[in-house]
Amino acid sequence: MKLYAPKYYRNFKCIADKCRHSCCIGWEIDIDESALCKYRASKHPYASEVLNSIEQGESAHFRLCEGERCPHLNEKGLCNIILNLGEGYLCDICREHPRFYNSVVGGSEVGLGLACVTACRLVLSSDEYTDIIEIGELCGESDCEYSISEKREAIYKILSDREKTYAERLLHIQKSYGVSPSFKSDGEWRELLDGLEYLDPAHRGLFSVYSSELSENEMHACELERALAYFIYRHCGKAQSDAELREYLGFCLFCERLLASAVRDGGVDIHTAARIISEEIEYSENNTEDIVFEFYFTES
């Protein structure tokens, strides 16, 4: 089946040891069965070290070291599994991060998550989000029957119309699709945010500044536009009906306002705020579901 991605996708490259926010620190790294089989079958001495670093629990995962570092992240910030065994021995999570995939009619779409600093800077600096191009093929067949492409193009057409102010474009989307975060008060949203699960409890304070307020002179309007386009690409692509599309679009509009609030009132730069929102919400299935669920009860 065909594989599609935003045009900017091809410009991504992991910067490895030059990254200041390594994805090899602070995350529990689950290991897929295929990778486990490779480690067990390898005769290389380092394969034994890999096996000795694995804990068996609900799922197999690497035993993190001091500072929540992956045991195979060396002092230079490089991966010892790659250096000793090769990239073919990486587990799925390590090989694919920060990529995500959604099934679409006739194929699959891939994108880059904002939790990766390099991906975040690429996404928030590119206006090529409207160009979804074919980049290759994947094995298998798509069973998706709900077509998102034309519906997403219609939203992007409104979003990218810079003849209008950014606030006007957001209101146009909200009115056209009958969904807006403002159906709840800011206080209600802040209460929900306070009850989420957090990787870093300090981020609860950052999210407490949430506001649905729209400004005619929105700070970082271009970056917010690109961030919203990213949220739509990542999450509306999961929709399997018009009703689900509205729910996910509501979630995307909420995340965009959370990002705007964190930058305006939270005292952090937009790239840091986007990364934190991605880590704390997008990479938590529970947090994402809790917010999407709120839009389940809204009426068009």
Q: Are residues 157 and 269 in the same domain?
A: yes
In a domain, 143, yes or no: no
Q: Are residues 119 and 199 in the same domain?
A: no
Q: Which amino acid is at 217?
A: N
Find the mean pLDDT for residues 44-49. 95
What confidence tier does 300 reach under pLDDT thresholds 50, 70, 90? Answer: very low
Give tens-digit pLDDT for 211-261: 999 987 788 999 999 999 999 999 999 999 999 999 999 999 999 999 999
Cβ neighbours of residue 75 closer than 8 Å, sequence gap 6 or more: none
Cβ neighbours of residue 45 closer than 8 Å, sequence gap 6 or more: none
What confidence tier does 25 reach under pLDDT thresholds 50, 70, 90? Answer: confident
pLDDT at 276: 97
From CA 276, how far away is CA 130, in angstroms rounded? Answer: 25
Number of domains present in the structure of the chain: 3
In a domain, 178, yes or no: yes
In a domain, 67, yes or no: yes
pLDDT at 175: 96
From CA 95, how far away is CA 103, in angstroms rounded? Answer: 19
From CA 264, how far away is CA 217, in angstroms rounded? Answer: 12
Q: Are residues 156 and 291 in the same domain?
A: yes
What confidence tier does 19 reach under pLDDT thresholds 50, 70, 90? Answer: confident
The model's pTM is: 0.92
Instruction: Look at the block and give the residue holding tokens 């035993």.
Output: 63
Find the mean pLDDT for residues 4-19. 89
pLDDT at 298: 60
Q: Are residues 283 and 157 in the same domain?
A: yes
SS3 content of the chain, % helix, strand, coil (to 5): 55, 10, 35
Find the mean pLDDT for residues 79-100. 94
In a domain, 262, yes or no: yes
Q: Are residues 231 and 264 in the same domain?
A: yes
CB 117 within 8 A of CB 6: no
Q: What is the domain extent for residue 91?
A: 24-95
pLDDT at 297: 66
Pairing status of strand 107-112 against strand 2-6: parallel
Give tens-digit pLDDT for 164-181: 999 999 999 999 999 999
Q: Are residues 53 and 169 in the same domain?
A: no
In a domain, 288, yes or no: yes
